[in-house]
Amino acid sequence: AALLPVASSAQEAVDAIIAEFTGGAEMGAEGLTLTTPEIAENGNTVPVEVDAPGAASILVLASGNPTPKVATFTFGPMAGAQFASTRIRLAGTQDVVAIAKMQDGSFVRASREVKVTIGGCGG
Amino acid sequence: MVDTATPRVRVPRDATAGEIIEIKTLISHDMESGQRRNGDGDLIPRSIINRFTCDFNGQNVIDVAMEPAISTNPFFEFMAIVPESGTFVFTWYDDDGDVYTDSKDITVT
């Protein structure tokens, strides 16, 4: 296989997904809590939690995965909190990124590094 | 995946009016990512649940767009507000067109 500039193309993919979600808007740093373990022994199932009071939706990305998009949570009128928890696959040590679209149309970004001992994309 | 996709949902039986409750859901599913190779070195085609929704009395609680990075046996925990007695309906949408549902009643006391 041809040698590809993996790092830069992966970053471009992440940037493109974020741009699609935010429309290129500025992102704040306050109001979104992203909770992950610091170290995940098994990348096949890593617990991730997002909490952003007043969010309309929250996008979660695994910046180092072959396909970075993980999930988009959209909250309806019966949501009791703009909170969600799930379990995700991480191919290796990388930053998990969450971006919340707030109900006023603004955006907030949070990111946390997760060190992965055994990768979870079966490569 | 039809035979193995079994939903499990945990919702309180009752609540007070306006209470915010915690809901946990799990569905058994391989969530084949499309990244793995079989013994012959060929890619195993992607086959995942790509969307999950929860509604209460016809109004949405949460709607999740799911990608292959969601783990095997997708798990979600989230919060719902319960203004009145009613029914939570949970729906999972598979790549292969199958739809799996579960529902839970809750009584406002």
Residue B5: its pLDDT value, please? Answer: 87
Over residues B84-99, the pLDDT tens digits come to: 999 999 999 999 999 9
- Distance from the Cα of A120 to chain B's closest Cα (Å) equals 9
CB contact under 8 A, B67 and A76: no
The residues near A94 (Cβ < 8 Å, ≥ 6 apart) are: A62, A63, A64, A65, A113, A114, A116
What is the dihedral sign for C-alpha B99, B104, B105, B107? negative
Task: Flag whether B12 is in a domain.
Answer: yes
In sequence order, the β-bridge partners of residue A71 are: A60, B66
Residue B1 domain-assigned?
no
Residue-wise pLDDT tens digits, A100-122: 999 999 999 999 999 999 777 65
CATH number of the domain enclosing B63? 2.60.40.10
Nearest CA in chain A to B80: A80
Pick among B64, B91, B92, B93 to test the A interface (most A CBs inside 10 A): B64
Cα end-to-end span (Å), chain B: 39
B89 touches chain A (CB under 8 A): no
**What is this structure's pTM?**
0.93
CA-based nearest distance B51→chain A, Å: 9
Q: CA of A90 to nearest chain B CA: how many angstroms apart?
A: 7
Tell if the CB–CB gap between A89 and B71 is shorter than 8 Å: yes
Residue B104 counted as domain residue: yes
Give me the half-sphere count of Cα atoms (radius 13 Å) on the Cβ side of residue A32: 25
Cβ within 8 Å, pair A71-B66: yes
- With respect to residue B67, please indicate whether it lies within any of the assigned structural domains: yes
Residue B74, token pair as written in the block: 């997708």
Residue of B nearest to A69 (CA): B67
Q: Chain B, 57-86: which have a CB under 8 Å from a chain A CB?
A: 57, 59-72, 74-82
In a domain, B31, yes or no: yes
Total number of residues shown for chain B: 109
Query: Could you give the ipTM of this predicted complex?
Result: 0.94
pLDDT per residue as tens digits for the range A27-58: 999 999 999 999 999 999 999 999 999 999 99
What is the H or E stretch that residue B65 is in? strand B59-66
User: Structural domain of residue B17, as residue ranges?
Assistant: 6-35+44-108
Residue A63: pLDDT over 50: yes
Domain assignment present for B95: yes
Give the residue with greater pLDDT, A9 vs B85.
Answer: B85
**Structurally, how many domains does chain B consist of?**
1
CA angle B76, B82, B84 (to 5 degrees): 145
What was the pLDDT predicted at A5? Answer: 53
Q: Looking at CA atoms only, how far is residue A117 from chain B in angstroms?
A: 16
